Chains A and B, each alone.
Chain A
Amino acid sequence: MALALTAEEQAIASGGRGEGAAAAMRIVAESARLLAAPRLIPIASAHIDGALYHGDSGTLFAERLVEGGAQVAVRSTLNVGALDLMGCSRVRLEEPQRGMARRMMEAYRKLGCEQSWTCTPYQAGHRPAFGSDVAWGESNAVVFCNSVLGARTNRYGDFLDIACAIAGRAPDYGLHRAENRRARLVFNVSALPPAFLASEIAWPVLGSLYGRETGTAIGVVAGIATHPGEDVLKAFGAAAASSGAVGLFHIAGVTPEAPDVETALGHVAPERTIKVTSQMIATAQRGLSTAAHAETIDAVAIGSPHLSLAEFERLERLIAGRKLAVPIHACTGRHVVSELDKTARRKALEACGVVVVADTCVVVTPILGKLPNGVLMTNSGKFAHYAPGNTGYAVLYGSLADCVESAVTGKPVFTDSAA
């Protein structure tokens, strides 16, 4: 079916609102044509992942939009950049890349995007309404937006995210359409011990396994008795979206499009049921570590996705004022830093040896010390997935409590690992 643009869309694409808006509308329309979408649909908001510096061409593109007078047409928050603009941590990005990364962040500000610089916009006040169409980037934000908020987005990558924000439109395709949101398979965890499901390490491990098992298919998790809380769903979704191409999951009795398994499946028999066993969990958990036999660790990294204020409160209680032998890099957004700074809590954490990282994170820009055989411990399934490739560090996966004890002694401590 050929793409049909409205008269207004055509007028914008021909320059009726300036060359920047025209370029954005043409990019959205060309993408829609490649996706075989029949039309464009209006969007309510955007979350922009494109302001992370990968090379000069991305900076030049953003600046071209600015020169063309483009402005975002809907509320648009920004995902992490390559620099810590708050000055909490030191980013070892050299010139000329550093200058180009700064120019890129500045261009997105000029386009009218909010300076949120976080991968958890949904915990920084950007929560689109259930059923609304939005254009979000960053895989964990996309999966949270679809699954937990019930707003509708595809995985919008670099360039298309900002083009949709400026055009105020997105291709009518994929997860925007109700018929594409129902679960096709069941991920049944009811055979797992309740004590494991209640533990902190359960959800990133489950997410990692879920992503690997389902790939791009939409599944519904069955066998969860109580709502585990938003920070836990955040960790599950992030792990699932890094091990597979997960854009939407359902959890029966927990997420808004899944009051029960049958409704999530659209009252159609599942194409496949995955019965999760303790052995599958043990294998998935081992797979999150690449340095299982390490005797010492060099650093801890937490906050992928960015830490919430509640997660900082747990961190403070676990450290309890002790001095750390190796640093804990705690990645978060400025929405949390401003809360911490109200009562000098950041300074107190820093005095113990915590490095607060704002606006960015340790796997997208060089922050960790250069160590050829470094070992990084983390409680994040997403950090565990990306740290070896992006930082060169081997990883150890453990609970937050174990990460803190390990940082205090400099040696891996495992007390919560029983799966």
Chain B
Amino acid sequence: MSERAEILVPGSSGEGEALVLTQPISFWGGVDPKTGRIADVRHPEHGQCIAGRVLFLPGTIGSSSASAVLLELVHNGHAPAALVLHEPDAILLLGLIVAREMAWQGPIAIRLDRSAFEKFEGRNVQVAANGTISLPN
């Protein structure tokens, strides 16, 4: 199974276990910038780690420092393997745009309707550099 998605920010292809968030998240205050662990105690996926995962985001909320948290995760090697967003979030994705300017290898970000998220939960997912999302095996 594979489908071609719109590329929001180009980046390296990524593969990892899917982490489908069931509620929007605020990266600033919601994700530990040192480890990638979800730190917001009110979030349903609290305690999960986004590092190395293919992260499905139904939405984002909150602070305009989300970009700083994502850039920090790229810089310290705890970024997701790929980002799948229901809709573009210019503040969060700015972290990836700045990473590219710094020539730091950042993950690719693609757009996919959140109604398609569920089938990926817990499975090994691959996002190719051309935006193709697939379940390799």
CB pair B66–A157 under 8 Å, yes or no, is yes
With the chains together, A55 CA to B88 CA distance in Å? 25
Measured CA separation A64–B90 after assembly (Å): 22
Asked if B82 CB lies within 8 Å of chain A CBs, one says no
A27 touches B68 (CB 8 A): no
Mark out the residues of chain A between 1 and 42 whose CB falls within 8 Å of any chain B CB in the assembled complex.
23, 26-27, 30-31, 34-35
Q: Report how many residues on chain A are interfacial, defined by Cβ distance under 8 Å.
A: 27
CB distance from B64 to the nearest CB of A (A): 3
Chain B proximity of A358: nearest CB distance (Å): 22
- Please tell me which one of the listed residues B9, B68, B91 contacts residue A55 in the complex, with CB atoms under 8 A apart: B68
Asked if A31 and B97 sit within 8 Å, CB to CB, the answer is: yes
**Residue of B8, B69, B98 touching A61 (CB-CB under 8 A):** B98
Cβ–Cβ contact A158 & B102, under 8 A: no
Please indicate the chain A residues that have their CB under 8 angstroms from the CB of B91 in the complex: 157, 160
Whether A57 pairs with B90 at a CB distance below 8 angstroms is no
Q: Are A27 and B102 in contact (CB under 8 A)?
A: no
Cβ A27 vs Cβ B29 within 8 A: no
CB <8 Å contact, A57 and B74: yes
Does A306 belong to the interface (CB within 8 Å)?
no
B64 A27 Cβ-Cβ under 8 A: no
With CB as the reference atom, state the residue of chain A lying closest to B74: A57
Contact with B along A43-55 (1 / 0, CB 8 A): 0000001100011
Contacts of A49 in B (CB 8 A): 64
A64 to B68, CA, bound (A): 15
The smallest C-beta distance from B6 to any residue of chain A, in angstroms, reads 11
Q: A136-147 CB contact bits vs B (8 Å, 1 = yes)?
A: 010100000000
Report yes or no: A159 in contact with B75, Cβ–Cβ below 8 A.
no
Once the chains are docked, how many angstroms separate the CA of A160 from the CA of B29? 20
Of A26, A60, A157, which contacts B75 at CB under 8 A? Answer: A60
The answer to whether B64 touches A137 (Cβ under 8 A) is yes
- Say yes or no: is A155 at the interface (Cβ < 8 Å to chain B): yes
Distance A26 CA – B98 CA, assembled complex (angstroms): 9
B129 → chain A, closest Cβ, in Å? 18
A50 to B64 CA separation, bound complex (whole angstroms) = 10
Partner of B94, one of A137, A157, A389: A157
Asked whether A223 is an interface residue with its Cβ less than 8 Å from the other chain, the reply is: no
B126 contacts partner chain A, Cβ-Cβ < 8 Å: no
A249 touches B (CB below 8 Å): no
How far, in angstroms, from A34 to B94 measured CA to CA in the complex?
Answer: 9
Determine if B102 and A60 form an interchain contact, defined as CB atoms under 8 angstroms apart.
yes
- Chain B nearest CB, measured from A250 CB (Å): 22
Q: Are B65 and A34 in contact (CB under 8 A)?
A: no
Query: CA A389 – CA B33 in complex, angstroms?
Result: 16
Smallest Cβ-Cβ distance to B29: which chain A residue: A389
Known A34-B88, A57-B72: A157·B98 in contact at CB below 8 Å: no
The residue from A23, A34, A55, A139 contacting B90, defined by CB atoms under 8 A apart = A34
Contacts of A393 in B (CB 8 A): none
Judge whether B68 and A159 touch: CB under 8 Å: yes
A50 to chain B, nearest CB (A): 8
Given the contacts A34-B93, A35-B90, A158 and B68 also touching, CB distance less than 8 Å: yes
Inter-chain CA distance A54–B68, complex, in Å, is 7
Would you give the shortest CB distance from A308 to chain B, in whole angstroms? 25
A389 to B91, CA, bound (A): 22
Q: Are B98 and A159 in contact (CB under 8 A)?
A: yes
Instruction: Give the chain A neighbours of B94 by CB distance below 8 A.
Output: 27, 31, 157-160
Shortest beta-carbon distance from A176 to chain B in Å = 14
Is A56 in the interface zone, CB < 8 Å from B? yes
B64→A54 contact, CB < 8 A: no
Contact B67 A158 (CB under 8 A): yes
Residue among A34, A159, A245 making CB contact with B71, cutoff 8 Å: A159
A interface, CB within 8 angstroms of B:
23, 26-27, 30-31, 34-35, 49-50, 54-58, 60-61, 64, 137, 139, 155-160, 245, 389
List 9 interface pairs A-B (beta carbons < 8 Å), by A numbering: A23-B101, A50-B68, A54-B33, A54-B65, A55-B68, A57-B72, A57-B102, A155-B64, A157-B91
Closest 5 CB pairs of A and B: A157-B64, A55-B72, A57-B75, A158-B68, A34-B90
